Structure 1
């Protein structure tokens, strides 16, 4: 069983592609988390989590959610993370979570995907992103082979920088940087309510027909990327930038 969370489409693409490779069930965790539903998952095949890298670790809200779930049948658990830069020392932190669940951690495999963190970085051109996506498809074949053979993913050596990123920068990032005070809707807003619906943490509500962010944000960028009229901005960082949404790249 393949479980995934995706905000801008990268992890969804990988999860569904891997599901096709393995002929396995693919489950979107979005509604489980948004609705506060405890996940009870049963599978005879290994469990595979596919998710983005948030500040060099599995997103904190996602790892916290996994700790509330019940996993029955197979005890093997693989993790596939997509990243724009690197995934640091994410291995050690998700391993601790899965050990606490009594699961057999089979390793973490990182797949480079297009950078999507528009609130901080400039994004690559569609042409560059298409090449990155094509390269990820080749790596997915390797990922599928390991899982089919029930082999552990190869563990990559992590140096000081990776350990510092995941162990020191990650908590600083979520304490001081991943804030929502700079989000706002421009006059292009049509009050459709979609940003509220796509917020996994239920952080967006509406006041006088406009979205309001309420202080519990993980910087997933779903609100920006999925706004149908590109009405959401993050301070000056996103002004003049096209939001990232994988489906738009795949359509062209």
Structure 2
């Protein structure tokens, strides 16, 4: 089995690692490492995708890479996104990508994890981290048995997706990233960026226009020197999955 994952703050990587523990032959592949390829042909006949939901959808980087996959010889495909509460149009858009190759997804499920962009109490984070340990058990069993499962469309969430899409374009402008005087020029923000969107000039990060909204730079900054000029994350306490270490997120 091959699991392609995308993770900014560690939630998706943690889920992928939990699945891997239950399979003898399972490779974890950071999906952003394939962005330079024109065509991607998996070596396994079982393929899974684990990623966060951004504004009710597949992260743009992930979506663009999945479109490069050749699924013609794949026998079992599963998608396991994670989010705080709203999946939006995630599965609809995933199905569209597969349909372009006359393929159908075999298994859909979702896990609820702490959010990394909107202000929620830390108590909720702890609750979700405990609950996911329970929720992931039947998911792993389903995948072992190659269960076929398709989630029904939630049209209210799909409506919310279109609203959030407009919001994201306003909310995550690169012009809104700010670095304060606490910056120690360690370069971690550049190292954790999956799109190589951050450059260092005179030791200070400069944000270009290829942000994929993962907020890894914001949450992994050891001095909390990065923030944004808006009401959602300006004063948000920093979060990354407590089971994942920085060196697992740093892009090689």
TM-score, normalized by length of structure 2? Answer: 0.86
Show the counterpart of 1:128. Answer: 124
Specify which of 27, 33, 39 is matched with residue 31 of structure 1. Answer: 33
Cα distance in 2 for partners of 1:73, 1:164 equals 35
Deviation at 1:240, TM superposition (A): 4.1
Unaligned stretches of 5+ residues in structure 2: 246-252
Show the counterpart of 1:2. Answer: 3
* 8 Å contact from structure 2 (residues 79, 108) kept in 1: yes
Unaligned stretches of 5+ residues in structure 1: none
Cα distance in 1 for partners of 2:89, 2:29 equals 26
* 8 Å contact from structure 2 (residues 32, 62) kept in 1: no
Q: Higher mean Cα deviation, 141-150 or 238-247?
A: 238-247
* 8 Å contact from structure 2 (residues 72, 101) kept in 1: no
Query: How has the CA–CA distance of structure 1 residues 181 and 246 changed in structure 2, closer, same or farther, with 3 Å as cutoff?
Result: same
Q: Please tell me the root mean square deviation across aligned C-alpha atoms, in Å.
A: 2.2
Cα distance in 2 for partners of 1:174, 1:100 equals 27
* 8 Å contact from structure 2 (residues 95, 104) kept in 1: no
SS in 2 for 1:88: coil
* 8 Å contact from structure 2 (residues 47, 77) kept in 1: yes
SS in 2 for 1:26: strand
Show the counterpart of 1:49. Answer: 49
Query: How has the CA–CA distance of structure 1 residues 248 and 104 changed in structure 2, closer, same or farther, with 3 Å as cutoff?
Result: closer
Show the counterpart of 1:80. Answer: 80
TM-score, normalized by length of structure 1? Answer: 0.86
* 8 Å contact from structure 1 (residues 188, 229) kept in 2: yes
Show the counterpart of 1:16. Answer: 17
Show the counterpart of 2:249. Answer: none
Cα distance in 1 for partners of 2:8, 2:86 equals 18
Aligned residues: 241
